Structure 1
Amino acid sequence: MVYIFLADGFEEIEALTVVDILRRADIEIRTVSIKDKFVTGGHGIPVLADCLIEEVKAEDADMFILPGGMPGTTNLEKNEKVQQFLEHGVDNGKWIAAICAAPMILGNKGYLKDIEAICYPGFEKYLQGAVVKDNRVNVCGKFITSKGPGTAMEFAFTIVSILKSEEAAQRLKRQMQYCE
């Protein structure tokens, strides 16, 4: 099971692209709202979440995903339950993926110390202790980070390659006419 956390102001492309691609790959993913079932993205698109954060358990997940966007990222960071899920993930060796501004949440908690990571340009100062890279998607340890909206598909395919296989990700790329 994969949980992708949604808060008002999330970046729609980064969240919904990941959900779409993981579901195409038959990976069970749930959109988890931190507040209400209806969550409004940063560009005014309302989304009905699958469940509320109070309805899910950290131990049921293999991966936690944090989409970026503002103020979505800061709304996620301020949420105590999200912080508890991330702590559980780090303590139990679960995958954590964050894109755009969202890696700042991990950096601010010290989770990226000595870990290669990337984020949206200008947010590098929040990646405290990280080895900041400049690629589009980065995998280091149990962390997957990515740059922003334009890298959302690559980010999602990387998640598929980790949770399923590289062959599954390549097959899906061909089916979706994804060109690198």
Structure 2
Amino acid sequence: MAKNVYIFLADGFEDIEGLAVVDLMRRAGIRITTVSIMDKKEVVTSHHIALLADSLFDETDFSDADMLVLPGGMPGTKYLGEYESLARLLTQFDQKGGKIGAICAAPTVLASLGLLEGKKATAYPSCMDGLKGAEKSLEKVVTDGNITTSRGLGTAVDFALSLIEQLLGKEKADEIAESVVYTR
């Protein structure tokens, strides 16, 4: 049975952090849906690349979600953190033990909702102070319970492979790494 992942995009998200996750998960056979929290499907990355999200937040049913993912980047992370409907979804998903991933500045969104309280987590170096309540780590990727966090663009492939491993197993993650000539 295919796994369903939703990744939330806002103007100013970090290109590689979002698209590496989408690319590698799709290669693994995971149904990943890009969801715009803007009022339009066109989202402009932090490096001014326009792309079309698969759906708009208000038009998306998340009931089949196996994982929710937040890319970092500015001002994208700021917009994600201010979007109340996303905050409610993340909180409810966490309460059910649903898997959540966040990279770069985006772990601060989870911290602001209290989702990192007492958990080990990481973030972009200048965002580490925003991990209130978390046990801060300098590891590339940290999974504590149902939440996975990562440091930034340079760790995006490791982050994506970790998420794949959680959903489909180490063998599939290793297969995808090998297929893109990535050494874990």
Paired position in structure 2 for 1:156: 160
TM-score under structure 2 length normalisation = 0.96
Matched, 1:37 2:50: no
> How far apart, CA to CA, are the structure 2 residues paired with 1:168 and 1:4?
20
> How far apart, CA to CA, are the structure 1 residues paired with 2:62 and 2:54?
16
How many Å apart are 1:172 and its aligned residue?
A: 1.1
Counterparts in 2 of 1:19-98, with a 5 A limit? 19-35=22-38, 36-98=40-102
Unaligned segments of structure 2, at least 5 residues: none
Amino acid at match of 1:173: A
Matched, 1:17 2:34: no
Q: How many residues align?
A: 180
How many Å apart are 1:152 and its aligned residue?
A: 0.4
Aligned 8 A contact 1:10 1:67 in 2:
yes
> How far apart, CA to CA, are the structure 2 residues paired with 1:5 and 1:93?
19
Higher mean alpha-carbon deviation, 79-88 vs 99-108, is at: 79-88
Identity, % of aligned positions? 44
Amino acid at match of 2:31: E
Unaligned segments of structure 1, at least 5 residues: none
Higher mean alpha-carbon deviation, 82-91 vs 39-48, is at: 82-91
Q: Which runs of 4+ in 1 moved over 6 A?
A: none
Amino acid at match of 1:32: V
Matched, 1:100 2:104: yes
